[in-house]
Structure 1
Amino acid sequence: MFRLKKISIVFALLAMISGADVRADQLQLTPVKDNTLYQKSDSLSNAKGIGVFSGRTGDGSIVRCVMAFDLSAIPPGSIIQEVSLTLRQTNTNNNAPQARTVSLYRVTKDWGEATSQATLGGGGGGGGGPATAGDATWLHTFFNTSFWENPGGDFAPDVSGSIQVAANGDYVWRSAGMTADVQRWVDNRESNFGWLLRGDEDNLSTAKRFGSRESVSPPVLLVQFSPGSSRGRSDRRAGAPRLGRGRLRGNAAPDSRP
Structure 2
Amino acid sequence: MTRRITPSGTEASGAPALINDTTWLYRTADGAGGGLAWNNVGGDYSAFFSASLLTTTTGLQTWSSLGLLNDVRSFALDPSQNFGWFLLGDESTMGTTRRFDSAYSGSVGGIVPRLEIEFTTIPAPGALAWIAVTGLTGFIARRKR
TM-score clears 0.5: yes
Is 1:130–2:28 an aligned residue pair?
Answer: no
Residue 176 of structure 1 corresponds to which residue in structure 2?
66
Residue 140 of structure 1 corresponds to which residue in structure 2?
26
| Residue 189 (structure 1) aligned to one of 79, 90, 93 | 79
CA deviations on 1:30-72 (whole Å, 9 max, x unpaired) are: xxxxxxxxxxxxxxxxxxxxxxxxxxxxxxxxxxxxxxxxxxx
Query: Larger relative CO (CA 8 A, sep 6+): 1 or 2?
Result: 1
Matched position secondary structure for 2:91: coil
Alignment of 1:66-81 (within 5 A): none
CA deviations on 1:62-111 (whole Å, 9 max, x unpaired) are: xxxxxxxxxxxxxxxxxxxxxxxxxxxxxxxxxxxxxxxxx010110111
Residue 113 of structure 1 corresponds to which residue in structure 2?
11
Deviation at 1:162, TM superposition (A): 0.7
Residue 92 of structure 2 corresponds to which residue in structure 1?
202
Amino acid of the structure 2 residue aligned with 1:180? N
CA distance, structure 2, for counterparts of residue 108 and residue 212 of structure 1: 20
Is 1:222–2:117 an aligned residue pair?
Answer: yes
| Residue 163 (structure 1) aligned to one of 53, 56, 81 | 53
Q: 1:169 to 1:115 in 2, by over 3 A?
A: closer
CA distance, structure 1, for counterparts of residue 52 and residue 74 of structure 2: 19
CA distance, structure 2, for counterparts of residue 163 and residue 114 of structure 1: 24
Deviation at 1:187, TM superposition (A): 1.2
CA distance, structure 2, for counterparts of residue 161 and residue 221 of structure 1: 15
Q: Structure 1 residue runs of 4+, over 4 Å off?
A: none
CA distance, structure 2, for counterparts of residue 183 and residue 193 of structure 1: 13
Q: 1:136 to 1:225 in 2, by over 3 A?
A: farther
Amino acid of the structure 2 residue aligned with 1:109? P
Q: 1:189 to 1:160 in 2, by over 3 A?
A: same
Where does the alignment leave 5 or more consecutive residues of structure 2 unmatched? 125-145
Residue 39 of structure 2 corresponds to which residue in structure 1?
149
Where does the alignment leave 5 or more consecutive residues of structure 1 unmatched? 1-102, 117-128, 230-258
CA distance, structure 1, for counterparts of residue 25 and residue 120 of structure 2: 36
CA deviations on 1:154-182 (whole Å, 9 max, x unpaired) are: 10011100111012111100000000001
CA distance, structure 1, for counterparts of residue 72 and residue 120 of structure 2: 10
> What TM-score do the two structures reach when normalised by structure 2?
0.71
User: What is the CA RMSD across the aligned residues, in angstroms?
Assistant: 1.9
Matched position secondary structure for 1:208: coil
State how many pairs are aligned.
114
CA distance, structure 1, for counterparts of residue 120 and residue 6 of structure 2: 23
